[in-house]
Amino acid sequence: MPILPDALDEARRIIAAGAEQKLTLRLLGGLAIKMHSPSANHRALVRSYPDLDFAFAGKAGYKIEALLPPLGYEANQAFNLFNGAHRLLFYDTGNERQIDVFVGSFHMCHDLPITERIALDPLTLPLAELLLTKLQIVQLNEKDIRDICALLLDHPFGESDDETINLKRVTEVCAGDWGLWKTVNVSLVKVQEFCDAYDLDVPSKLTIIERINVLRLALGDVPKTVRWKVRAAVGEKLQWYDLPEEVKRG
């Protein structure tokens, strides 16, 4: 079966193909948010999706390297050779899309434990993890802001993961890592500033802002770990994040 032109359909096809081989793959990134958030189709928040990002729970990345080429994908051999223990890149040249697989871990501006609860949702990472993968970005771009707005607009914070952003999960992860906590707070302020400029109705904007405030308050109140406190004592004197570098396509 050839690669499907619709990115969401194609993501489902890849996840199903993985499941057939007992490989747990879940979507993350903008497309995953679109799966859960109707608002992502709102004219103010709509965006393009050139990449399909997946998380893979196992460490056996070679199984993904065996899975995707028969589905029609071309591996970036050099990239995968050097980085395949943690990341894999594949290309769909026909649709000009890239597949990015995080193997066993997620390390971008911050480390996130995204594979611990990977199976909670049949297609994507849980909403809490989806939100964190966006809020951990130090250099937020326009697409990231739109994704975060869509996610917050359509999902309240709560105690479960069923179309709800699990507040406990978000705050617990941040309470163990001062750097992540700091970046998430900075990102929330940024989203609050920028969402005002989008062509959303006032109630939608208020909903987003209210939910940002809920999260910021919870982040302030959550009991912090010793590790968090030690790092907090050093503060911004030491860079608290990594900056991912772009990878030039072959």
Q: Which residues bind another protein (CB under 8 A)?
A: 29, 51, 53, 60, 62, 65-66, 76-79, 81-87, 98, 100, 107-109, 137, 139-142, 145, 189-190, 193-194, 196-197, 242-250
- Is the Cβ of residue 65 or residue 171 nearer to another protein in the bound state? 65
Count of beta carbons in the 10 Å neighbourhood of residue 249: 11
- Cβ neighbors of 98 (< 8 A, separation 6 or more) are 50, 51, 52, 89, 90, 91, 92, 249
CB of 135 to another protein, least distance (A): 14
Tell me whether residue 158 or residue 209 sits nearer to another protein (CB atom): 209
Give the number of residues written for the chain: 250
Give the nearer residue to another protein in terms of CB position, either 84 or 222. Answer: 84
Residue 50: how many CB atoms within 10 A of its CB?
13
Q: Give which of 56, 119, 125 is closest to 88, Cα–Cα.
A: 56
19/3 Cα distance (integer angstroms) = 17
CB neighbours of 20 closer than 8 A, spacing ≥ 6? none
Q: Min. distance of Cβ 200 from another protein in angstroms?
A: 15
Kindly state the smallest distance separating residue 162's Cβ from another protein, in Å: 27
> Shortest distance, CB of residue 106 to another protein, whole angstroms?
10
Taking the complex as a whole, how short is the minimal distance between the CB of residue 66 and another protein, in angstroms?
A: 8
Q: Which is nearer to another protein, 16 or 197 (CB)?
A: 197
Contact 185, 219 (CB under 8 A): yes
Nearest to another protein of 37, 136 (CB atom): 136
List beta partners, residue 57: none
Measured from the CB atom, the residue of 84 and 171 that comes closer to another protein is 84
**Integer Rg of the chain from CA:** 18
- The least distance separating another protein from the CB of residue 31, rounded to whole angstroms, comes to 12
